[in-house]
Structures are given as C-alpha cells and as structure tokens.
Amino acid sequence: MPAVRLCVKGQVQGVGFRPFVHRLATELSLAGEVSNTRSGVRIDLLGADDALKRFRLGLYEQLPPLARIDQLTEERLEPAPAVDGFHIIASESADTPLELPVMPDTAVCPLCLAEMFDVADRRYRYPFINCTHCGPRYSLIRSLPYDRPNTSMAAFTQCEACLAEYHSERDRRFHAQPNACADCGPELWLESARGDRLSGDVIEQALAALKRGEILAIRGIGGFHLVCNARNEAAVQRLRQRKQRPAKPFAIMALNAASLESAVELTTIGRQWLESREAPIVLLRKRADTGGALAEALAPGLDRLGTMLPHSPLQWLLFHEAAGRPSGSEWLEATHPMVLVMTSANRSGEPLITGNDQAREKLSAVADLFVMHNREIVHRADDSLINAISEPPAWIRLGRGLAPREIPLAQSGPSVLAFGAYMKNTLCLTRGDRAFISPHIGDLDNADNCRTLEESVGQLCDLLGTRPEHIACDLHPDFHASRVAAAMADRLGVKLHAVQHHHAHVAAVMAEHKTTEPVLGLALDGVGLGWDGQLRGGELLQVDSAGFSPVGELVALALPGGDAAAREPWRMASSALHRMGRPELISRLFPDRPGAEAVGRMLERGVNCPPCSSLGRVFDAAAALLRICEVQRYEAQAPMQLEAMAAGVKLADLQSLHRIQNGAKGLELDLLPLLESLIDEADQAQGAARFQAALILALTDWVCRASRAQGIKRVVMAGGCFLNMSLRDGLRDALIRAGIQVLLPQAVPANDAAISLGQAWAVHMKCSGSHV
C-alpha cells in the first residue's frame, strides 16, 4: 500500500492538531504516526490512495478552531514502513531553534462555556477553564515549545482526573497545557483595598460591590482591569477622578451583541469581531438617543464607543451571577441589562499592571476591592482595539488575542530586530519569511514603559529562538528605543540601521501587502524626525526595496512652544493666524488663554517655534479655530472630536481651498486657505464637515499630481491620521476613481504601532536584495 509523509507548517502545535490527525486517520483506516517537529507537525500515513486523498481534504476542511495550515509538503515513503494502527508519538528533540509561531490568547470556547454553566460538571463555575480550543497561551509562555513546564502552569500539578484528560488522545484536553480544575489549578480570592482577604463566594461578592457602585480591580488574562457599573454615572465619574483620566473614553462590556444594540450601531464586521475568538475592543458608533441608559461620562464629546464581550471565564461568571446562575447555555443568547466599564488597570501613561503586589501598591487608591488569582502572567497583553465603523476595519492597538502578531513576508531574509517609535511603541523581530510584532508597549515617556521595552526585547528573542543579524531603530537618536537599539547592536556586533519615521510607516504597509515594488507613500501623522532633520508629519515619498526619496511635503506651520503645541491646539490655531498675517486675532479668538499674548510674541520673533509639516497639527488648528477643542486632555482628542462633530453632516457645495506649487523639496501642499475659511464659521458641525471634505479634495489633487510626475499608480496610505475613517475612506475612494491602486493598513494599525514592522521590512528588503 502507498505510504506518504506530510510536513505541515503553521499554527499546528498546542491547538489539538495531533489528536485531530489521529481521529481523522483512524476514521479512514489509515496506519502511521504523527509527531511535533521543530518547524511544525510530521504525519506518516500508510493506506489506500482513496483514503489518503480524503485525509488531505479533511485536513483542511475539519481543522480544529485554533489551527492554521500555512504550508503542506508531501513526499513518498519508500519502502513503506511496517506499522500497525495510528499513533501519536513523542516530539522530536528541540536541540535546534524552533521555527514555530507563538500562540496568542483566545476567548473561552462554547464547549468550555457549556461545561462551566453545567451544575453537574466538575468544572461548574471554575474561573480558569480551558481546552486546546481556547484559553491563555502567550500570556503564560516562558519559552517554546509550548509545553506545560515552559509555562506559568508548571507551578500547578494536575490531579488524577485532569491528568487522565491530558493524556487521552480522544479528549479535547489532550496536551492542553493550562489544563486544571478546582482541585489542582489556580485559585481566585477577594481582597479589600487594605489587603485583607475576604471570605465568601468571590463572584457573588464582586457583583454585589458593582451593584453598590464600587470600583473593582480584576486580574485577568494579560493584566488587571478596572471595572465599574457603566450605567452608574457617579461610579464612572469616580473612576475618572481616581484614575486621573478626565476625558479619555472608557470601553464597556456586555453579555452579547444583542445587549449592546440599544447603545451602539452594530455593523456586520463589528459583530463578527465582537464574537471572534480574539475578542478585541470594537469601536462602534453611538446611537443618537440611548435614553440615558449609559453614563454620559463614558466617552464625552465623541460619536463612538469601545465595546467588548466577555473573553475570560471570570468575566463570563460575573454575567452568569447577574443572570441568577442559570444552568445550560440558552441564557447566553438573551439580552441582559448589566453593562460594565472594563478599562486597563494602570496609572496614566504607565504599563498595564499584571502582578498582585504591583496592583496592591499602585491601585489601592483607585479600587475598592481586588479580585486576585495566583496564575502568574508572564507576558502582559492589553486588550486589542479595532475601529469597525467602516470597512475594512482599522486596528488601533494590537494586544491580547492578536499579539505577537505574525505577518507573512514576501521573501525570506536575515533576522532583523526593530525597536519601533517613541509613541505607541512595539517591537518587531523577523525570522525567515515571517515578522512577529510584540504586544503594545506604550509611549516611552516614562521609566516603567522604558523598562518594559528593555524586558520585552529579551523575551521576544528568547521566545522565537532568534538572534538578530541586524538592528533597526528610528532616525531620532535621543529616543530611548534608539539608545537601547544602539547598545544592543554594539553588544552583538551587528549593524544598526536608523530608519526615517515616514519611510517606516510606508514600509509597514508594504510588508503586510507583501510588496517590494516601488510605491508612492502618503504618510500623514503627528510628528516624526525627517530625513533632513526637520519635524515632519505630512509628506509624499517614493519607496522601494533600496530605500526612499522625497516627492512632496505639506507647507510647514510653526509649533509655538514645541511639544506644548501638540497638547494645546489653540497654539496651532495661533500659528496659522500668524502665518495668515492676522496675529491680532489670537487674543480675540482665545481670550481665556493667559499665554495668548506671549505666544503671539514667540511667533513674531520666531523663538521656540520649530517648523513642522504635520497634518495632525493642521487638524489641531482646525479644531481650535472651530472652538471644538482648545486643549487636549489625551492624545488626538481634538481631531477625534472634530471627526465626531462632522459625522452625518450634509454639505450643499464644496470648493477647492488649497494651493499646490513646486518647491525645493518637491510638490508643496499649502492648506492655509482651508484653515482661513474656518475663522468666521458659526456652525461647528458644518465647519468640521467642510474641513474634512475640502482636505480630501486637496490630498487627492496632491497625490494625483505626484503620481503622474513619478509614473507610479500604486499609493500607500499610512500614518495615524488615517485612523480618521472619514478621511481614510473618502481619500481612498477618490483615488480609486482617479485610477490609482490604494494600499491600506489592515493587519496592523496605521499609527506608530506599525513603525517597528516598517523598520524591519525596510532593512529586510535592503539586506535581502542587491542593496546591502
């Protein structure tokens, strides 16, 4: 009988793939064996040709929920081995580095939920239930291969019943590394803010506290959440005050999508992501009238709300308790009134808190009660965040369920470790033809985030078993990430590559679209150090595998006070007024700003007013001129409120309000006429809508002229400004109508979280080709 060897690469370890292969082969009366290897899974099969054909088909059609096949190779085995039956055999030795993906954490599967709500099941109401189809992965892995001794579950010895499941090839918990039960696994307890452990049922008491309007700190999969009743205005305001988060929006959690319909407009793609195993926070548009059902303080001044469904067993148990502990799973489909604020537990700007002692130290003045557990979180993972208001949806943050994010590349090449940006920092490590992006680390403006970056470097390299051959960082030499990168390159004796900020933005989109061909890159964001030493936030670049060349730029505005201008949009409006030759309007338009006269003098004298070609700062100026937002209490508040103000506004007519001319650095786009048109606008909503629509006209004109000049019909749109869905979608559609192919960020965010991928791909392309 014929015998074959199949070698499978992809997400095929730790996901129940070998038991699945065993069942499929046995059903088809095939003999042979299956084992893990350093790069995937090896399957040796002996049987009739028809059975082998049906096996190959079933391999794809009946995959376990978390499995993914990236590559399947086949060779004939001659002579055919003498085997009896089909067996799962031990993994081969991992003396050499493993070429395996890292499994992200996933939401509880329906089978585990059914067990958790079954009074007769031994895991009834067990808050750490999991199987090979679901549960924590990345958050508890210390090293690969993904075996229990290499995870934080090594601290828990399985009881006899769990061990029987773990070793049974026919059980879905066969080799489920976090497998446990109430007799042998992690435990849950409740503490007061003073650190006293409280007796009684943890879930019951936690729910009672939420009903009283108290704030809970709950230890989850990748870190702590701060939780309160989203219908209780006083509780939400108290959380804002204690967390020192006066305006930045909070995410909410409901039992199911149906329970959210009274608060938000559910899109098809939004519902899909809410109910996905990744279970991210999903941004959806608020309903115009919710009847006061939710606290007004959840997302002040915005037209959207971050929504999520339970993803951990503990979160499901809170809703189960609120529903009266019903048996079975039918109740999961019904609407439920409880809505919770579910926000990351950290002090403003600091990393997500993961440890119990750290939570006691830093959250004692924030939380009234603490829900703790003793399963160590090895890797922190904030909730992933996606905007699903339009299609394609736009990732804003990669975290739990998505990270480490694996990106297939167009070609194999040397390993590159990229250190990312100053804001929204992530790391990226390439291995062969794959790139792996770390979870969100955060802004490198505080010591804790800087330490997290340094720890994450070693963790990522160790986890992937890869020693970088090249190091990449931002062009700015004073960023903490750039200094750490330089030190590591020196220590390893490898080359350090400084990659310009916007080059990296464009290259990130090229990476996910698997292209090395020349593109025209439109990079629009807040600010980054440019190739010429100037601050840039809006430019056109031609990018290919060899590097980039500048094609055009926005006409710069001065930043009065430097970084202060990014926090105070009225300063950017003042800068625009000064450039218009109307400085006398500064004090008139901003009479409540005590520094208005001083800013006018700074602009007149050119003192501490560096120029910056930034579209992000143009948005700030527009928001301030329209009196929508003069001072930002969180990043991008002004443009977000401007976008919300413009939503749904119909414009009667629209005229061109920009200038384009040839300059020393290519095509220059001047948006000053557009800003000037906003000065006397009495209707904020009309002004906001007109600004966005006229901006789309201006950018379309600019890009089309550059496209014709360069002879390139493929345009990459990158940078944080494209998290504005009205701008992204309007410009994309206009360029497509003009006959231009548009590449958008889809697998990674448009903002600085993608910079590490772009840095890695820019170096990867250069070092894999003829440009070394």
What is the set of active-site residues? 18, 36
> How many degrees, rounded to 5, is the angle at CA 326 between CA 320 and CA 330?
95
- Three-state secondary structure along 163-190? HHHHHCCCCCCCCCCCCCCCCCCCCEEE
- Interatomic CA distance for residues 342 and 319, integer angstroms: 13
**650 Cα distance to chain centroid:** 33
Number of helices and strands in the chain (H, E): 22, 31
Q: Report which of 617, 633, 634, 627 is spatially closest to residue 685, judged by C-alpha positions.
A: 627
**Rounded to the nearest 5°, which phi and psi values hold at 476?**
-70, 120
**Is the CB of residue 320 less than 8 Å from the CB of residue 117?**
yes
Give the phi and the psi of residue 701 in degrees, each rounded to 5. -60, -45
Residues 639 and 616 sit within 8 Å (Cβ to Cβ): yes
Sequence-distant (6+) residues with CB within 8 A of 287 are: 262, 263, 264, 265
Exposure b/e, 253-289, CB count within 10 A at least 16 = b: bbbbbebbebbbebbebbbebbebbbbbbbbbbbbee
Contact 536, 550 (CB under 8 A): no
Q: Give the span between the Cα atoms of 483 and 474, in whole angstroms.
A: 10
Q: 111 near 50, Cβ under 8 Å?
A: no
| 586 neighbors 599 (Cβ within 8 angstroms) | yes
Pairing of strands 281-286, 197-198: unpaired
35, 19 contact by CB (below 8 A): no
Positions of E strands within 610-744: 611-614, 659-663, 666-670, 714-718, 741-743
